[in-house]
Structure 1
């Protein structure tokens, strides 16, 4: 038994075909069949049965399949750990940030209302602040005459925007509904309407024609987290990246 045979069983089980599995594994069909036959002879029990042209796992095959997945996973983890010992090793890291609970909470984020100059009921330029702690509060019912740009209800920020309005007993005059916060912000900059945004927009953007406000009645936040798989070995580069994110992301939100 070898590592290749474990992968052969997994691929045949997933493809349900010797032919398709051989194509995916880049080996000949006869070679794959002979390898499986040798494995079945070694284990002393059939791992597959043919059913109307499909290769299906037997009960023993199902047990072997689960064991093969676990074993190859452990083998991969071991390779990563050993690779960390090698000087100068490099690893590809796929990074994602999500406003949901996960392995590492980075920061709690609030929300702001972006209003273009042409629609803003306040003319005092001192009310435009990039520091969220200094961003002036606003009473939503006072904005009944202003058109709003909201995100769709299946979007996380779309749900939050509607909750903000509901909490204030405010019924916004909706001009349009978007599918992304970037689109909503772009329309707001063009004077199309006011829109709710994550506070990061107020901290990292500087547009002279946009005022940012915080709703005076809504103080909920959402968690901004680094998301990564459980039960895998976290190599040195990955740990360094997490530490860097944990340091930099909160600093962005604290920055004045």
Structure 2
């Protein structure tokens, strides 16, 4: 048994198919099948069984996978610790962040980071929250910048900022929306607000928050477009096709500055927590610690504008 075989089995579990797993591992399908057969013979048990054409773990396979995950994690921790001891150590950090946040945060953060960490490779994964969380749980990411993880036992969610959700509207609608503004400048969602809403799906956090805002305001929106990307929604708002909800971080994006106005929402002042989220039981190498420290400094200053 070797480390590769452990990763092979976990990849088969992830892909649920030997052919797809072989492609992901850059192996031929016969080579992967032979490696699995040899491992099962060595262990004296079957790891997989085929049910209705689908590979499923046996009970022995489940036990093996739990052990394999722990073993590979321990191996990575040891590797990171030994690398830190070496003066010419080279690390790799896998960072997950939403596309709109990466555009605003990463240029300044990485400029500072690479002033010191010239021997570190960085893999940036830009996906929505639900995918970033899945990848963190599957050990495909070391760190995500996002809302807190609900599992507080296994994951550290380090709060660095609180983010308001605002209503984004085309500047051409400023005069029309004046009648909906309160004395404190927030916008009331009332029946006479006839502008069509551009909404995100409920898979997205903003989509879920949008529904809560409507419920809090007892407001039924006129919906014309539903999409899965906040950048798409705001681009459509900038073209005058409707209004949408957006994180306040977009206020500082220059590309929308001439076309979109942002309004606080009356009767909804809840904020969204922005956190550095990582596993509690993982070793944090020196470069990851440096990156975390830069995020701790940079993110709060962004929200103090």
Tell whether the structures are fold-level matches, with TM greater than 0.5: yes
Cα gap change, 1:207 to 1:69, in 2 (>3 Å):
closer
In structure 2, what is the Cα distance between the partners aligned to 1:47 and 1:12?
18
Q: Which moved more, 1:113-122 or 1:157-166?
A: 113-122
1:100 aligned onto 2:147: yes
Looking at structure 1, the residues matched to 302 and 226 of structure 2 have their Cα atoms a distance apart, in angstroms, of 29
Deviations 1:127-156 (A, max 9, x none): 9xxxxxxx9311221752222222223322
Matched, 1:248 2:245: no
| 2:265 counterpart of 1:215 | yes
Note if contact 2:40-2:47 (Cα within 8 Å) is conserved in structure 1: no
Match of 1:189 among 238, 241, 244: 238
- Which of 249, 252, 262 is equivalent to 1:203? 252
Unaligned runs of 5+ in 2: 98-128, 130-145, 150-155
**Aligned-residue offset at 1:183:** 0.9
Pair 1:141-2:195 in alignment: no
Cα pair 1:48 1:57 within 8 Å, conserved: no
DSSP 3-state at the match of 2:303: helix
Gaps of 5+ in 1: 41-45, 128-134
Q: Which residue of the partner structure matches residue 226 of structure 1?
A: 276
| Deviation at residue 79 of structure 1 after TM alignment | 1.8
* 2:166 counterpart of 1:112: yes
Going from structure 1 to structure 2, the CA distance change for 1:136 and 1:90 (only over 3 Å counts) comes to farther
User: Which whole-Å CA distance do the structure 2 matches of 1:68 and 1:252 have between them?
Assistant: 41
What are the residue-to-residue correspondences of 1:170-189 with 2, within 5 Å? 170-189=219-238
Whether the 8 Å contact between 1:9 and 1:36 is mirrored in structure 2 is no
Offset of residue 225 of structure 1: 1.9
Distance across 1 between alignment mates of 2:185 and 2:192? 15
For 1:78 and 1:225, how far apart are their aligned partners in 2?
27
1:142–1:253 Cα change, 3 Å: farther
CA distance in 2, matches of 1:62, 1:210: 52
Kindly tell me: are residues 181 and 48 of structure 1, through their superposed partners in 2, closer, same or farther at Cα, counting changes over 3 Å? same
Distance, in Å, in 2 between the alignment partners of 1:66 and 1:163 is: 38
Distance, in Å, in 2 between the alignment partners of 1:29 and 1:192 is 57
What's the CA shift for 1:69?
A: 4.8
For 1:218, what is the secondary structure of its paired residue? coil
Q: Secondary structure at the match of 1:108?
A: strand
Alpha-carbon deviation of 1:245? 0.8
- Residues in 2 aligned to 1:212 and 1:28: alpha-carbon distance in whole angstroms: 57
1:254 partner SS? coil
Number of residue pairs matched?
A: 229
| Equivalent in the alignment of 2:213 | 164
Distance 1:83 1:159, change over 3 A: same
Shift in Å, 1:175: 2.3
Contact 2:195 2:242 in 1 (8 A): yes
